[in-house]
């Protein structure tokens, strides 16, 4: 199997099992290669060791959990990821420069600054305003061609240009364009954010960089506006609507589905989707 695909599959496995026992041995075993060979390959592809990647993603995901579960005790969230209360605070502070308690207090439901343009502060809508654009839908499994990018989500538009040019022969009228995003840029360093750019295809398309995205039950926010406003809309959903909704995220990633794109005016009509249990 292609080494990049092996590493991508390992990342997917890690992201979906962050609150379980994970080690270099267990992850390498899934690729049927020695841990020494796998460890070297993983670091060459991602720039991080397997251990560092797991540790970072666990702490970042725990911060997401603090954000989504304001009534849940911080010690309980730490325990979910295998940390004692004192150890969790130490590791969290080392990663985010503040304690989990201070981080929780800093979460706002009124406004936020945009990491890509820090001088820009945007207000959130009310829970009812977000709810007016949201419905719960069943989404089918998708078989897609994809390329994974690790870096700032501010580069996604440019990455789309390259992706569509590279795979234009597979672009049909029925093709669905989608993004799978794993990180919250308000928490994860922008240089370490993971995004898959995808287009639907037939399983016999003949390419190696393909995968099946699992469907299921999703909350779907119908977005119509400028690309620059997507990030703040998602932050509002996560910070204002989701914690009050009674819904619980089912997997550590979201999906964006594009319906129409106006590249000249940098605007889109799309669905912002979050998997729920």
Where a domain ends, among 59, 90, 106? 106
pLDDT surpasses 70 at 29: yes
Residue 49 is part of which domain span?
Answer: 3-106
For the chain, the domain total comes to: 2
205/253 same-domain check: yes
pLDDT surpasses 90 at 115: no
141/268 same-domain check: yes
Q: Kindly write down the DSSP assignment for every residue of the chain, as one continuous string.
A: --HHHHHHHHHHHHHHTTTS---HHHHHHTTTS-HHHHHHHHHHHHSS-HHHHHHHHHHHHHHHHHHH-TTS-HHHHHHHTT--HHHHHHHHHHHHSS-HHHHHHH--SSEEEETTEEEEEEE---HHHHHTTEEEEEE--EEEEEEEEES-GGGHHHHHHHHHHHTGGG--TTPPEEEEE---TTTS-GGG-EEEEEEE--TTS--SSEEEE--EEEEEEEEEEEGGGHHHHHHHIIIIIHHHHS--B-SS-EEEEEEEEETTTTEEEEEEEEEB-
Identify whether 128 is part of a domain.
no
176/60 same-domain check: no
- How much is the pTM? 0.90
What pLDDT shows up at residue 1? 60
140/231 same-domain check: yes
Segment 40-63 mean pLDDT? 94
pLDDT digits (tens, 9 = 90+) for 194-240: 999 999 999 999 999 999 999 999 999 999 999 888 988 999 999 99
| Biggest alpha carbon–alpha carbon distance for the chain | 55
Q: What is the CATH number of the domain that holds 197?
A: 3.20.80.10
The tokens of 176 are what? 């669905």
Q: What is the CATH number of the domain that holds 99?
A: 1.10.10.60
Where a domain ends, among 106, 125, 142? 106
pLDDT digits (tens, 9 = 90+) for 1-23: 688 889 999 999 999 999 888 98
156/206 same-domain check: yes
157/211 same-domain check: yes
């Amino acid at each position: 199997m292609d080494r990049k695909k092996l590493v991508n599959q390992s990342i997917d496995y890690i992201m979906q099992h962050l609150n379980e026992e994970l080690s270099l041995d267990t992850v390498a075993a899934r690729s049927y290669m020695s841990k020494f060979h796998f460890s070297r390959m993983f670091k060459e592809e991602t720039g991080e060791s397997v251990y560092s990647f797991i540790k970072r993603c666990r702490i970042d995901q725990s911060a997401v959990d603090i954000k989504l579960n304001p009534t849940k005790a911080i010690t309980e969230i730490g325990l979910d990821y295998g940390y004692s209360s004192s150890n969790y605070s130490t590791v969290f502070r080392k990663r985010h420069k503040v304690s989990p308690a201070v981080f929780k207090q800093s979460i706002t439901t009124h406004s936020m600054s945009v990491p890509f343009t820090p001088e820009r502060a945007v207000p959130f809508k009310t829970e009812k305003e977000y709810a007016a654009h949201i419905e719960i839908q069943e989404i089918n499994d998708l078989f897609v061609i994809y390329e994974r990018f690790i870096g700032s989500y501010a580069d996604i538009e440019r990455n789309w240009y390259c992706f569509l040019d590279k795979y234009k022969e597979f672009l049909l009228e029925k093709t669905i364009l989608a993004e799978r995003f794993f990180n919250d840029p308000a928490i994860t360093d922008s240089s370490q954010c993971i995004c898959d750019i995808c287009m639907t295809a037939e399983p016999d398309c003949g390419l190696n960089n393909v995968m099946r995205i699992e469907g299921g039950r999703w909350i779907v926010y119908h977005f119509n506006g400028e690309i620059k406003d997507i990030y703040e809309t998602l932050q509002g959903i996560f910070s204002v609507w989701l914690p009050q909704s009674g819904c619980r995220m089912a997997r550590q990633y979201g999906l964006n589905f594009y319906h129409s794109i106006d590249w000249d005016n940098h605007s889109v009509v799309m669905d912002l989707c979050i998997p729920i249990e």
